């Protein structure tokens, strides 16, 4: 059985805690590896290694740090297929989807290649007689990056390139469900010239995370995962005096107005609802059909869903893979049961799907509910599976009110050909990322990503310019070189002039 290790000081390191967890092939249900978890002692050891490496790295020239990022970019580009294979094997998503995830992570590396531009400071001369002021941004120190299972390459790359390029040392604590990609990334950064210890990988569960939160030598935490954990990491991390950004779960709505191109809307809803088996934080999980759009949309959704090919990533024709674990599959099936029980109209039922050769895999087929009400569990909960709910509203304003009343606010979209309605939506909607005829509006690497409300705790979005702000703090230096005019004791508060 393959054992998945930590990575410290440029080498693999075995876990010493005796605690471990299974890693599955979700398509077959087989255990394919065991990942060793860190305990408090081993977490402390990794933090000490990162702290020791930090000083040398923050004093490494900006140009050298950028060269490393350029090399990472090239290696990652060459490794796309290999890395996609590693992701598929443990996550279950199709190879094409996994390649897409690597590509989106690559964008964040490319942004960090230009970090010198983003770290430019500012200066004002002669603010008082003989006095200049300079403002620079400096790294924070050791940053802990805690990431979810659903994007084992992209989400770490939302954090690591900017954090490193800004001069920090990083400890990555990946999901224990698909941890192999983290070791591949650590090795790749090292091959690109990153000094040992500047990027360490700590495998583990809540024990390692709790220690990172409490450890006095960890300056900041970037977290992406579910809302309850995000909230608690934000609260606990802040209590321990750390800078924290914690991105949480989602319930993303897509409004379809009666004037929309309904074929385009149906394509978009099916792609964004069932891609990656709905295990995306930007997946569409609710279609809000306004007026008579629903009656015309449902047959189009049914037609497209019936044609979807569900299967393992190893079969090239598969368009949708399994869920991450048997527990998660059972939870999603439980949500479908509850939707049916609470009176939603089950149009397509993905329960009990059989995938030949993968009878023990964690599959749920694409599921569609119509006539979903806001008080039903399937509407209130983040299902994180291939379940799309259609809610009907009479008016456009009711659709906006419904979305604004939802506690999650990650992404949303509108499908319409009416520019005025799109503009109204864009201005009135209380959500962090908005698409107009774009179902998954994930910003490119030179913008930043972040939801509102229960989808993000903290004041910084992730990657792009906001990432640079998060991973640095300002220092303002006021300078006067001694001259004969400015001598003598003066107990008054320093004045300009
Ligand atoms: P999760 O919250 O269960 O786990 C995320 C990370 O936190 C993992 O590394 C895990 O080991 C750790 N963790 C889990 N429980 C913990 C605890 N009690 N204390 C400390 N650490 C803990 O999330 P997941 O199931 O891996 O990922 C799916 C969730 O992530 C979904 O809710 C999804 O919406 C969300 N997500 C959000 C975004 C975003 O950008 N907002 C992106 C991707 C995923």
Give the domain CATH number at 267. 3.40.309.10
In a domain, 496, yes or no: no
CATH of the domain at 67: 3.40.605.10
Q: Which of 179, 229, 235, 454 to mutate to test the pocket of ligand 1 (most atoms within 8 A of CB)?
A: 229
Helices (H), 344-483: 377-380, 396-405, 419-428, 464-470
Q: Which of 22, 40, 92, 148 to mutate to test the pocket of ligand 1 (most atoms within 8 A of CB)?
A: 148
Amino acid 241: pLDDT: 97
For residue 455, give the DSSP letter. T
Amino acid 267: pLDDT: 98
Q: How far apart are CA 171 and CA 214, in angstroms?
A: 14
> Same structural domain for residues 195 and 344?
no
Q: Which two tokens stand for residue 436?
A: 């107009």
> Same structural domain for residues 160 and 192?
yes
Q: How far apart are CA 136 and CA 452, in angstroms?
A: 29
Considering its fold, how many domains does the chain have in total?
Answer: 2
**Per-position pLDDT tens, the chain of length 497:** 899 999 999 999 999 999 999 999 999 999 999 999 999 999 999 999 999 999 999 999 999 999 999 999 999 999 999 999 999 999 999 999 999 999 999 999 999 999 999 999 999 999 999 999 999 999 999 999 999 999 999 999 999 999 999 999 999 999 999 999 999 999 999 999 999 999 999 999 999 999 999 999 999 999 999 999 999 999 999 999 999 999 999 999 999 999 999 999 999 999 999 999 999 999 999 999 999 999 999 999 999 999 999 999 999 999 999 999 999 999 999 999 999 999 999 999 999 999 999 999 999 999 999 999 999 999 999 999 999 999 999 999 999 999 999 999 999 999 999 999 999 999 999 999 999 999 999 999 999 999 999 999 999 999 999 999 999 999 999 999 988 877 889 898 887 77
> Same structural domain for residues 256 and 109?
no
> Same structural domain for residues 94 and 236?
yes
> Same structural domain for residues 142 and 170?
yes
> Same structural domain for residues 238 and 190?
yes
Amino acid 275: pLDDT: 98
Q: How far apart are CA 412 and CA 403, in angstroms?
A: 8
Q: How far apart are CA 181 and CA 86, in angstroms?
A: 6
The set of long-range contacts for 331-336, using a CB threshold of 8 Å and a minimum separation of 24, is 331/385, 332/364, 332/383, 332/384, 332/385, 332/386, 332/387, 333/364, 335/377, 335/378, 335/381, 335/383, 335/385, 335/387, 336/364, 336/367, 336/378, 336/387
> Same structural domain for residues 75 and 224?
yes
> Same structural domain for residues 82 and 24?
yes
Q: Which domain holds residue 103?
A: 2-248+455-477
Amino acid 274: pLDDT: 98
Helix (H) or strand (E) holding 83: helix 80-91
How many other C-beta atoms lie within 10 A of the C-beta of residue 81? 11
Amino acid 24: pLDDT: 98
In a domain, 483, yes or no: no
Amino acid 488: pLDDT: 86
Give pTM, 2 decimals: 0.97
In a domain, 490, yes or no: no
In a domain, 94, yes or no: yes
| Ligand 1 atom 20, closest CA | 206
Amino acid 486: pLDDT: 78
279 CA to centre of ligand 1 in angstroms:
12
Q: Judge if the beta carbon of residue 250 lies within 6 A of ligand 1.
A: yes
CA 435-440-441 angle, 5° bins:
45
| Ligand 1 atom 9, closest CA | 175
> Same structural domain for residues 207 and 313?
no
In a domain, 441, yes or no: no
In a domain, 327, yes or no: yes
Q: Judge if the beta carbon of residue 412 lies within 6 A of ligand 1.
A: no
> Same structural domain for residues 9 and 136?
yes
Helix (H) or strand (E) holding 276: none
Amino acid 373: pLDDT: 98
In a domain, 32, yes or no: yes
In a domain, 448, yes or no: no
Q: Which two tokens stand for residue 182?
A: 């983290």
Helix (H, G, I), strand (E, B) or coil at 396: helix
> Same structural domain for residues 244 and 308?
no
Of the candidates 113, 145, 166, 281, the residue annotated as catalytic is: 281
Q: How far apart are CA 170 and CA 53, in angstroms?
A: 10
Q: How far apart are CA 36 and CA 18, in angstroms?
A: 7
113 is catalytic: no
Angle at which helix 154-165 crosses helix 62-78, to 10 degrees, equals 160
CB 369 within 8 A of CB 345: yes
Question: How many residues comprise the chain?
Answer: 497
> Same structural domain for residues 256 and 235?
no
């Amino acid at each position: 059985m393959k054992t998945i290790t930590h990575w410290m000081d440029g080498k693999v390191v075995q876990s010493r805690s005796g605690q471990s967890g299974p890693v599955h092939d979700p398509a077959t249900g087989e255990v394919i590896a065991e990942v060793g978890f860190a305990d408090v002692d081993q977490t402390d050891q990794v933090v000490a290694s990162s702290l020791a490496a930090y000083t040398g790295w923050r004093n490494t020239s900006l140009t050298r740090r950028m060269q490393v990022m350029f090399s990472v970019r090239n290696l990652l580009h060459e490794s796309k297929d290999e890395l996609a294979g590693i992701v598929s094997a443990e996550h279950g998503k199709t190879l094409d989807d996994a390649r897409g995830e690597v590509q989106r992570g690559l964008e964040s590396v490319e942004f960090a290649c230009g970090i010198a531009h983003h770290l430019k400071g500012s200066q004002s001369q002669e603010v008082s007689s003989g006095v200049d002021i300079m403002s620079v941004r400096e790294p924070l120190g050791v940053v802990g990056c805690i990431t979810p299972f659903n994007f084992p390459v992209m989400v770490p790359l939302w954090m690591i390139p900017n954090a490193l390029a800004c001069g920090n040392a990083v400890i990555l604590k990946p999901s224990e469900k698909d941890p192999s990609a983290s070791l591949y990334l650590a090795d790749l950064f090292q091959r690109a010239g990153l000094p040992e210890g500047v990027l360490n990988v700590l495998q583990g569960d809540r024990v390692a995370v709790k220690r990172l939160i409490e450890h006095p030598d960890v300056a900041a935490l970037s977290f992406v995962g579910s809302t309850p954990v995000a909230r608690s990491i934000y609260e606990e991390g802040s209590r321990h005096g750390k800078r924290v950004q914690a991105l949480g779960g989602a319930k993303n709505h897509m409004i379809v107005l009666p004037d929309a191109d309904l074929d385009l809307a149906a394509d978009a809803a099916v792609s964004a609802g069932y891609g990656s088996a709905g295990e995306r934080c930007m997946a569409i999980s609710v279609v809000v059909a306004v007026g008579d759009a629903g009656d015309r949309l449902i047959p189009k959704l049914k037609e497209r869903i019936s044609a979807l090919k569900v299967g393992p990533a190893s079969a090239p024709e598969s368009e949708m893979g399994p869920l991450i674990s048997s527990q998660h599959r059972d939870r999603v099936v439980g949500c479908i049961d509850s939707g049916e029980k609470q009176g939603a109209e089950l149009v397509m039922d993905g329960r009990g799907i059989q995938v030949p050769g993968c009878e023990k895999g964690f599959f749920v087929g694409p599921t569609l509910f119509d006539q979903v009400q806001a008080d039903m569990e399937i509407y209130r909960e983040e299902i994180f599976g291939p379940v799309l709910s259609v809610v009907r509203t009479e008016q456009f304003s009711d659709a906006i009110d419904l979305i604004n009343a939802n506690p999650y606010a990650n992404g949303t979209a509108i499908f319409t050909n009416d520019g005025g309605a799109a503009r109204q939506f864009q201005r009135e909607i209380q959500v962090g990322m908005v698409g107009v005829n774009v179902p998954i509006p994930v910003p490119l690497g030179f913008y930043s990503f972040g939801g509102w409300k229960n989808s993000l705790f903290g004041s910084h979005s992730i990657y792009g310019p906001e990432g640079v702000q998060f991973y640095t703090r300002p220092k303002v230096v006021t300078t006067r070189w001694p001259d004969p005019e400015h001598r003598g004791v003066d107990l008054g508060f320093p004045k300009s002039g």
